[in-house]
Structure 1
Amino acid sequence: MIRYFSTLALAAAAAFVTCESKAEKVVIYQEGQQVNPQDVAAVLGRSRSIQLLDDAPAAAPAPAAPTAIKTVAHVSRPASPKPAATAPAAGRDDAKAQPAALSLPVLFAFDSSDILPAARPQLDALARGIQLLAPDRTVTVEGHTDAAGEDAYNAGLSRARASAVRDYLVQHHGIAAARLKTVGYGESRPVEGADPYAAVNRRVQFRGS
């Protein structure tokens, strides 16, 4: 596994799963898992953030680790996660693939775009990661829902939730609104391999641009 993944995995004590699919790789956090700002910068900023990780001292292991998976064309039979130092080498192309985005299970009030207090620690860490990026780096905030409800309603709700996350980052962390683009996909991009109604699909994804 290339140095990028070794550094990122050691910094966050992350476990990765791989497959032969050519779908993009996404770092997916579960509710309550600690988000490492340097890992956020590494995913959203690519080469510049990789250098930040290489220069930084090793971080203490997080109490819970995110899992990098492939979404849209999802892993059907993932390999067993292992620590980065001892994990067997993945296929050459898969090892070189960098995560294209990261996903947070942002908690909102039911049927609403109001962000619940439990979601703030992960969003605060994400904001610190964005602040490590170059000033001209923009981030796209993507809203996603599960399949419950009408398509049009879910699309609108996902846009409202993406906008609420953008507003939170602007108002609470001073990130320039111009650096944060928003889009709502509703239920149209579920995590493949998961039940369309599963909670994993109710997420907000972030990608550098």
Structure 2
Amino acid sequence: MIRYLSTLFIAIAATFVACQAKAEKVVVYQEGQLVNPQEVADVLGKTRSIHLLDDAAPAASAALTTPSGDTHAATKGSAAAAGGREQSNGPAAALSLPVRFAFGSADILPEARTQLDALARGIKLLPQDRAVLVEGHTDAVGDDEYNLELSRARARAVRDYLVQHHGIAASRLKTVGYGEARPVEGADPYAAVNRRVQFRGA
């Protein structure tokens, strides 16, 4: 009986977490798109409860919102967010960048630096005691455990870049990797749009 109740409680909790994540809006910048530091500060300045479920990340997805405020779902197989307008459920809770890394590694490619530099300017607009969570995500190509470790390494690489190149205190930047467990809603799990780094106020 205790085992049954425990299983039931876990199932209910997982459903609640998944529903919360599904309703979440994320501002998504495309590759090469200029990042607005003020928008970064506006999104990351909001604080919400964060649970670092690094080792047991539930499958969850997020609605995508372009920097202009339009909400989109990624089309199957597309490398960019596209699709029809959806209802907005309040302000965005996170911001997503398509940070480019060398294949199969956590080495940040030069073309990713412009967006990361603008992101850093946005973080510097926040109060000094405001922390930011850096989330690594991958597509479904490859082994689950490999993708989980790769997403963690990439989140740490972005943190290190922000610390070393912009002087942001490492204590303000928390990292977590979700591997392939949280694909973009409506996207093929193998689509490039799932290879992203997301940021949220912590």
Which TM-score applies when normalising by structure 2? 0.72
What 5-or-longer segments of structure 2 have no aligned partner?
Answer: 1-20, 48-65, 74-80
Is the 2:98–2:196 Cα contact (8 Å) retained in structure 1? Answer: yes
Alignment-mate amino acid for residue 146 of structure 1: D
Amino acid at match of 1:144: H
Residue type of the alignment partner of 2:27: V
**Who is 1:128 aligned against?**
121
Cα distance in 1 for residues equivalent to 2:146 and 2:105 = 11
User: How far does the alpha carbon of each residue in 1:44-86 deviate from its partner, in whole angstroms, 9 at most, with x for none?
Assistant: 0139xxxxxxxxxxxxxxxx95665478xxx997328xxxxxx
Return the alpha-carbon distance in structure 1 between the equivalents of residues 171 and 153 of structure 2.
Answer: 17
Structure 2 residue aligned with 1:173, among 166, 174, 179? 166
Q: Take 2:136 and 2:69, find their aligned partners in 1: how far apart are those partners?
A: 19
* Root mean square deviation of aligned Cα: 2.7
Instruction: Map 1:48-197 to 2 at 5 A.
Output: 69=71, 78-79=84-85, 94=88, 97-197=90-190
Equivalence map 1:15-30=2 (5 Å) = 23-30=23-30
Question: Which residue is 1:31 aligned to?
Answer: 31
What CA deviation, in whole Å up to 9, does each residue of 1:128-186 have, x standing for no partner? 00000001100000000000000000000000000000000000000000000000000
CA distance in 2, matches of 1:155, 1:205: 15
Once the two structures are superposed, residues 7-50 of structure 1 have per-residue CA deviations (whole angstroms, 9 ceiling, x without a partner) of xxxxxxxxxxxxxx961000011100000100000000139xxx
Percent identical among aligned pairs is 71
Structure 1, unaligned runs of 5 or more: 1-20, 48-63, 81-89
Letter paired with 1:40 = V
1:83 — aligned with what? none
SS of alignment partner, residue 106 of structure 2? coil
Distance 1:140 1:77, change over 3 A: same
Give the number of equivalent residue pairs.
158
Q: What is the deviation of 1:192? A: 1.4
> SS at 2:199's partner residue?
strand
